[in-house]
Structure 1
Amino acid sequence: MYAIGIDDKTLNWGEQPAPGPLGADDIRIRVAWAGMNRADVMQRAGSYPPPPGTSEILGLEVSGTISEVGPGVERLRPGQQVCALLAGGGYAEEVVVHQAQVLPLPDGFGLREAAALPEVFATAWLNLFMEGALRHVDGQAERVLLHAGASGVGTTAIQLCRTFGHPCFVTVGSESKLEKCLALGAEAGWNRHQGSFVEAVKAWGGADMILDPVGGNYLADNQQVLNADGRLVLIGLMGGRKAELDMGRMLMKRQRLIGSTLRSKSPQAKGAILDGLHTHVWPRLARGELRPLIDREWPIQQAGEAMAYLESNASFGKVLLAVSGEG
């Protein structure tokens, strides 16, 4: 098969070994579209290797058509259009993945739109509602601070907060991105180029939960705006991996710091997340209450150009790669 290989950090479309025989619970998918994520950028740079035993080909989400199923697969069939959450291997003509990580398309969705769903919706759902335990307390909706609000995960989290009744405050990198986030459903926001977000978030009422892909020196400011019994869910390290923690503040305000990664979870754990999406999110996607945001798309042969665009921080929503380009 053809897939993207990495040669001295350059992305090349060429011959690669095809995935091997199916296990009992595996599904082979002919890839139509692949989603691009920050994790792919980090893997290309050598700072985020795939889990042991996983394909070294980039790509954490795809949409496509099932070409073959293992003997233990009952709910999905060859010829069915699906989307899938992967641990790797998506920048390719075909993938093999455990059935727990595969979902049928939401009603009314095509393959292009569906490729923008698995990674960002699974990440946002996992970290808002499972790890972050976002809820209503005594009739009051908990409040959320979202960093990198214009990212794929950020724009998805804004929509989930809006749909499930949780006010959210976003930090972004430009005024135009802030305007788009507010239009999408964020209640308030802050351009990080104007300095610290601390006073603005405090004036807004503080946060009961923070979703942070930055880390680094954001930790101290996050602690200042996190309310009593608040949860800080760390999902990335764009700002660095080391910072100083105020344990006194953490103790007195009963704050919790939670580290969370999706990629290394087992197929069964990923399946539990996707089950939640299928129950709570897929119907809302079908009704138009939620939608994937697609910024731009490139042919898979131009993956390097697409990744340069993602690295520029100019995107708002998902960047997609057309493999077969169906649907």
Structure 2
Amino acid sequence: MVFTAPGGPEVLAPGSVALPVLRPDDVLIRVAYAGVNRPDCLQRAGAYPPPPGASPLLGLEVAGEVVAVGSEAPREMIGARVAALTPGGGYAEYCAAPWQHCLPVPENMALAEAAALPETLFTVWHNLFERGMARDGERVLVHGGTSGIGTMAIMLGKAFGLEMIATCGDEAKCDAARSIGADLAINYRTEDFVEAIRAHTGGKGVDIVLDMVSGDYVARNLKCLAEDGRHVTIAVLGGMEANLNMAVIMSRRLTLTGSTLRPRSNAFKSALADEIAANAWSLFTGGELAPVMDRVFPLADATAAHARMEAGQHIGKIVLEVSGG
């Protein structure tokens, strides 16, 4: 799927491009399924250009079969089923990705589910456990609890002994968040999440906020944090600027951090993949955890997939079927 000019979901259309040229560390994946993520929508709208050297095509995660390898990639990967974090190019029949950014997909794991994992898993692992320094028994607030990131954060957090609190936009989504494992789900349209967290925690607050909103949410988030709390920003859907009381940050010893994943170096993403492979991937390949799947659209219906994401109708991951399998 391609687009010739930025715009709404309707600018997406089928097209043909040349096969990706493999770099030495790359593998060529025959794509079975590709995940849909918010950065795809931003790139399509002209607000998130691909980093230098990345494919201009959309798609940051895929699952499928390796059909060719670069000169420095392991030849034994040919024929392997993999899920891959990609620098772009996932909305296509074939996609190139560094072999170190691939995770093995066993036969008992559906490729549609495998394609729904890399972007959110890499993002949540790095921001919650590495930047956020989450530790067993801590409390976490995650906004957008039924988004792909939100559902992944709830599942992973519970698997690693965290108390998970989520905000959602309606009662049905709050029910969905609780069914995934959220200890508390707050309807932010009918309830002040700051007051709800204060009541739930007896005034102690949470240890980490995983924030996708930013803007005027930041000051409210800081009111939710316990002393020595960590505020981790991973998106700015509510605006890029925030007004902060630095004296409060100092006196409560708060940490504000954040990150973006796509522009990071291949070496960083390779190290992150190794960390995930060692600590979290078996939770999914072994069946203990599974991504929350919203809907699978044919690749040709990518317009509808983007419209659903932008309307906020989804619960969990939206995936595109390319060749299936």
TM value normalised by structure 1? 0.94
Indicate how the Cα distance of structure 1 residues 107 and 159 shifts in structure 2: closer, same or farther if over 3 A, else same: farther
Residue 192 of structure 1 and its aligned partner are, at CA, apart by 1.1
Secondary structure, aligned partner of 1:273? helix
Indicate how the Cα distance of structure 1 residues 76 and 227 shifts in structure 2: closer, same or farther if over 3 A, else same: farther
Secondary structure, aligned partner of 1:232? strand
Q: Which residue of 1 aligns with 2:219?
A: 220
Question: Which of 175, 181, 199 is equivalent to 2:177?
Answer: 181
Q: Structure 2 CA distance, aligned partners of 1:106 and 1:181?
A: 28
Q: Structure 2 CA distance, aligned partners of 1:200 and 1:238?
A: 22
1:113 lines up with 2:109 in the alignment: no
Indicate how the Cα distance of structure 1 residues 239 and 106 shifts in structure 2: closer, same or farther if over 3 A, else same: farther
Check whether the contact 1:106–1:283 (CA below 8 A) recurs between aligned residues. Answer: no
Q: Structure 2 CA distance, aligned partners of 1:242 and 1:76?
A: 48
Q: Which residue of 2 aligns with 1:147?
A: 143
RMSD: 1.3
Check whether the contact 1:56–1:88 (CA below 8 A) recurs between aligned residues. Answer: yes
Amino acid at match of 1:150: T
Check whether the contact 1:107–1:286 (CA below 8 A) recurs between aligned residues. Answer: no
Amino acid at match of 1:321: L
Q: Which region of structure 1 is more displaced relative to structure 2, 38-47 or 188-197?
A: 188-197
Q: Structure 1 CA distance, aligned partners of 2:132 and 2:146?
A: 20
Secondary structure, aligned partner of 1:16? coil
Amino acid at match of 2:3: G
Deviations along 1:276-308, whole A, 9 cap, x unmatched?
Answer: 221122221133221111100111111011110
> How many correspondences in the alignment?
319
Secondary structure, aligned partner of 2:185? strand
| 1:1-20 equivalences in 2 (<5 Å) | 3-9=1-7, 10-20=11-21
Q: Structure 2 CA distance, aligned partners of 1:18 and 1:12?
A: 18
1:191 lines up with 2:192 in the alignment: no
Residue 107 of structure 1 and its aligned partner are, at CA, apart by 6.0
Secondary structure, aligned partner of 1:193? coil
1:33 lines up with 2:61 in the alignment: no
Q: Which has the higher strand share?
A: 1
| 1:1-327 equivalences in 2 (<5 Å) | 3-9=1-7, 10-20=11-21, 22-74=22-74, 76-106=76-106, 108-136=108-136, 141-205=137-201, 206-325=205-324, 327=325
- Unaligned 5+ runs, structure 1: none
Q: Structure 1 CA distance, aligned partners of 2:124 and 2:200?
A: 22
What percentage of aligned pairs have identical amino acids?
44
Q: Structure 1 CA distance, aligned partners of 2:75 and 2:266?
A: 16
- Unaligned 5+ runs, structure 2: none
Residue 23 of structure 1 and its aligned partner are, at CA, apart by 2.3
Residue 271 of structure 1 and its aligned partner are, at CA, apart by 1.3
Amino acid at match of 1:160: L
Q: Structure 1 CA distance, aligned partners of 2:75 and 2:112?
A: 23
Residue 17 of structure 1 and its aligned partner are, at CA, apart by 2.9
Residue 7 of structure 1 and its aligned partner are, at CA, apart by 3.9
Residue 195 of structure 1 and its aligned partner are, at CA, apart by 4.3
Secondary structure, aligned partner of 2:189? helix
TM value normalised by structure 2? 0.95
Amino acid at match of 2:215: G
Amino acid at match of 1:252: S
Indicate how the Cα distance of structure 1 residues 208 and 107 shifts in structure 2: closer, same or farther if over 3 A, else same: farther
